[in-house]
Amino acid sequence: EMDRKNQMITDFAQNWTHQNNNSTAGVRTVYVLDQGRLNDELMEWNARLLGFNTSDRNHVYTDAKLQITNRRKKKNNDYTFTIAQNCAEKVPANSTDCLRNSFSRDGMHPCVNTVGPRLAAAVACQLQCAFDGEKEWELSWSCSQDCNERFMNSTNLILA
- Nearest 5°: the CA angle 40, 140, 110 is 25
In sequence order, the 6+-apart residues with CB closer than 8 A to the CB of 89 are 50, 98, 99
E strands, 60-137, are 65-68, 79-82
At 29-52, the pLDDT tens digits run: 788 999 888 888 888 999 999 999
At 93-136, the pLDDT tens digits run: 888 888 998 888 877 788 888 889 999 999 999 999 888 766 66
* Residue 19 in this model has a pLDDT that exceeds 80: no
- From 27-41, 64-78, 141-155, the region with the lowest mean pLDDT: 64-78
In sequence order, the 6+-apart residues with CB closer than 8 A to the CB of 76 are 70
Report yes or no on whether pTM surpasses 0.75: yes
Decide if 92 contacts 111 (C-beta within 8 A): no
pLDDT (0 to 100) of residue 146: 92
